[in-house]
Amino acid sequence: MKVVIAAAGRGTRMLHLTNKKSKHLINIQKKPFLAYLLDNLLEAGYKELILVIGYKERMMREFLRKYNYKVKIINQFQVLGKKEYGTLCPLKCVKNTIGKENFLAVYGDNLYSVKDLKAFNINDNCNYVAGFFHSQPQKYGILIPKDGFLKKIVEKPKKQVGNLINTGLYKFTPEIFDKVSQVKLSPRGEYELTDALSLLAKENKVKIKKIKDYWLDFGNPADILKFYRFLKKHGNFKNQP
């Protein structure tokens, strides 16, 4: 199964750390964050990786050569231009590459275990979203389940509606591309992947699969220390040059 990895953005929440590189290439123990995700995907058995890049393309290509990653590269800015933003944009770029196959989609600033990634290698006619029980769900999109299916997503609710959050790991069937074309600009002026997911959910075509091992988000400076401590605890320092 092909895997689409979204890594086109700069990562402005990382502040000055992304002035000269994308957040995906910030080093933890001399190894960029993105390398840990790619390693886990490969170890989980996914061989056809599609990396959607944009910001600092040259540095991203140098990183891939340095670590000898064999991936297909698509430049989002070349396909869509630099005026179109949002989490849905990587999917807009890969329709022809994916064709009529099922595929995985992940964000390049999230890390999942090999075990959980393997569990998403599901060859059926349903779409899946990974859910994770979180102690501070108000910071994320909340998955509202109904009989194992996704009923709806509530983004960053002010009131408690649940604690099962969206972790940004998806398994899609090709029908997601029909919904991609229907998505309009969100109130913040971006194309949101969750809007396409919600359209599928209204047709009862999205199942929720819970993360059983771990999920790590790499979005702001505080996450760097969290990730370092995680790696130190688990001894995950392989494949360093």
DSSP for the chain? -EEEEEE----GGGGGGGSSS-GGG-EETTEEHHHHHHHHHHHTT---EEEEEBTBHHHHHHHHHHTT---EEEEHHHHH-SS--STTHHHHHHHHHHTTS-EEEEETTEEE-HHHHHHT---SS-EEEEEEE-S-GGGSEEEEEETTEEEEEEES-SS---SEEEEEEEEE-TTHHHHHTTPPPPTTSS--HHHHHHHHHHTT-EEEEE-SS-EEE--SHHHHHHHHHHHHHHT---S--
Ordered per-residue pLDDT tens for the chain, 241 residues: 999 999 999 988 898 999 999 999 999 988 999 999 999 999 999 999 999 999 999 999 999 999 999 999 999 999 999 889 999 999 999 999 999 999 999 999 999 999 999 999 999 999 999 999 998 898 899 999 999 999 999 998 888 899 999 999 999 999 999 999 999 999 989 999 999 999 999 999 999 999 999 999 999 999 999 999 998 887 654 433 3
pTM of the predicted model, to two decimals? 0.94
pLDDT at 30: 81
Residue 109 φ/ψ, nearest 5 degrees: -110, 25
Residues 6+ apart with CB under 8 A from 126: 173, 205, 206, 207
Q: Which domains does the chain have, with CATH numbers?
A: 2-130+166-234 (3.90.550.10)
- According to the model, what pLDDT value does residue 167 have? 96
